[in-house]
Amino acid sequence: MSGERVTIKTPDGEFSAYVARPAAAKAPAVVVIQEIFGVNAVMRDITDGLAAQGYLAICPDLFWRIEPGIDITDQSKAEWDKAFELFNAFDADKGAEDLQATISAIRADPGCTGKVGSVGFCLGGKMAFLTATRTDVDAAVSYYGVGLDSLTPEAEKLTRPVMLHIAGEDGFVPKEAQAAIHAALDNHPLITIHDYPGRDHAFARQGGEHFHAGDAETAGRRSLAFFAEHLG
């Protein structure tokens, strides 16, 4: 499946997004939120996969304010160094604004039913949580989001459902952070948390060092069921 590129305008400028369309003329939309490697083949494949499942899927370039068009992999030290440089320069507050612009744009697309979800990975997992607390997204899924322990107070603002996938041995989310997330969010009526014992960060990244096919499939199935329930 080959997607298309669209341009999203904001008061600060414009950025591109990769869009994959389903077979249906109208469908719920899902915003796919990138890792620290940009809108790369892994993210485009996830976007295409959601379209194959019947969703209008869009993956915005959230690094556009730093360097537009980032498309790197996790296969070399130089790329990792570049990815962390981008991660450290990234402004999450502006990123949340760009995600609202993306949500508004795809919701207005003639092919959208009006329902929009989000799913993010790593940095995108953090941003998916922020879509739930700072945008008008209808449902959000976060895979091994980084820094969520510092964002738990924002859960007070939640009005839409959230699903969190937490890797038990996440090298970027230590046990203390995981415990803080559970302590703050376990009893929240709109939040569902799934733990994956023994899994490391990015266990759902195809081709990644820590990829685990079984748990990636389980998390994917849970996410699709969640979207089916809340997006239609």
Domain 4-231 bears CATH identifier 3.20.20.140:
no
Residue 229, both tokens: 């329930």
Catalytic-residue membership of 201: yes
Q: Is 145 exposed, middle or buried (0-12, 13-18, 19+ CB in 10 A)?
A: buried
Residue 186, both tokens: 């376990």
CA 56 to chain centre: 15
Question: Given this model, what pLDDT does residue 42 score?
Answer: 96
Report if pTM > 0.75: yes
Q: If DSSP states are collapsed to H, E and C, what string results for 6-30?
A: EEEEECCEEEEEEEECCCCCCEEEE
Residues 144/175, Cβ–Cβ less than 8 Å: no
Pairing between β-strand 13-20 and β-strand 27-33 as defined by DSSP bridges? unpaired
**What residue ranges do the domains of the chain occupy?**
4-231
Ranges of residues in the chain whose predicted pLDDT is under 50: none
109, 149, 201, 215: the active-site residue: 201
Catalytic-residue membership of 81: no
Residue type for position 155: A
220 vs 188: CA distance, rounded Å: 22
pLDDT tens readout for residues 187-217: 999 999 999 999 999 999 999 999 999 999 9
Question: Given this model, what pLDDT does residue 2 score?
Answer: 65
Question: Given this model, what pLDDT does residue 212 score?
Answer: 98
109, 170, 200, 215: the active-site residue: 170
